[in-house]
Structure formats: structure tokens, C-alpha cells
Amino acid sequence: SHMGLQARLMSQALRKLSGAISQSNTAMIFTNQLRQKIGVMFGNPETTTGGMALKFYASVRLDVRRIQSLKHQGAVIGNRTRVTVKKNKVAPPFRQAEFDIMYNEGISRSGDVLDLAVEHEIVSKRGAFYSFGDTRLGQGRENAKIFLQENQDMFWQIDGLLRDQAGLARTLVPEGGESKIVAMPTATPVKTGKRASMAVVEDVIDDGDEDFDEMDEAA
């Protein structure tokens, strides 16, 4: 019988891998998909494939979902994404983070800086208008993001103010070069015992626009 074969293989493999991963100080990342449980009347019907072993051995489990389509001038240019920490053995769990994943760009740094600057009152938002001091960044979030991308001096100024508030080192931006951190405090490694630190990312695959349209309306 092949029932439960994948779960048994995962259990055997992770039992052997965990020691080697821990000794070599390696992070292993699994990308999974969601499935629907059959016959569930109450509770969450969603589950992940591969049995229970992966849930047990993982140090961090993340649930990644697209919650909104981002549009600019009528065209879809990216997705708003929400990440929920389902399990965390090295830090407090059940935290959430939202960010933009833009087409041909990846995770939008300008979007993160803009959102944090508004949250910490570095950038003011009145109605649909964003302003930094006496400078108007634009009407609407996407226009403000574009303004910051086109005006890197102001972007790094806001980034520096955010880092100052958080007690982090500022980013040095050499002329014509890549950005780099001036100085970062040395992080204290977290001991997680004999088991390896594994990260499991549960990703929701876009199987159709209808499902995500419903999610967008719910959001």
C-alpha cells in the first residue's frame, strides 16, 4: 500500500537530516502547498502535505498568502502579501507582516519604508496625500513609492530616521555603488538544542483569479 508513504519517508529523512544540519550550522527551507481536508465540518479545513514530521521538526513555520492585487493606472503591478508565523522556536510566534511583491522587482523596499515612516509619523498622510516635511511625496501610495524610488536622497534620509528610532545602524550609500550597512551590532546566536533549525514556508499557490478576487474583497 502507498497510503502515507510520503509521510513515512519524510519522517525517516528528517530524523537523519536534523543532526547533520545542526552540526553544519545550515538552514534548510521547505516550500509547501495547502490542501483541503476531506469531511471536515468544523475548524480549519486547510492542511499541508508530507505528514506531521515536518511540522514537528521545523523551528519556524510561515504561512504566505496574497491578500490584494496592487494596481497603478489600471494595470496590476504586484501583490500585497501577508506572512503569518505559525510556529517559532527561536522567537515569539503568531506575528504578522505585510509587504509588497512587485513584478520585475521583488519585495518593494520603498513600500516598506513608506509604510513604516507613516506608522512612526516620519511621513504624514492626510487623505490620499503623503508628505515628508514640506515635500509632498504624491497622491496615493503607489505615487509616493515611485517618488521615493526616483529621489534616492530622500529615500535614504527617511530610511536613516527609521533606523535611528529602531536603534539600528544607518545604511551607507556610496556614490555609484551598492548600499551597505555602516556597522551592525553582533547578533547573539540562539541555541535551539540538538535539533536543527529548519524553516518551513507554506506558500499558497495561485490556482485562479476567482479565489483571489474573493480574498481581495474579504481583505
If DSSP codes are grouped into helix, strand and coil, which group holds residue 218?
helix
Residues 180-205 have pLDDT tens digits of 544 444 434 444 444 444 555 545 44
Q: 73 pLDDT band (50/70/90 cuts)?
A: confident
pLDDT of amino acid 194: 45
pLDDT of amino acid 80: 93
Q: Which residues contact 61 (CB under 8 A, 6 or more apart)?
A: 55, 85, 86, 87, 88, 199, 200, 201, 202
**What is the value of pTM for the model shown?**
0.69
Q: 217 pLDDT band (50/70/90 cuts)?
A: very low
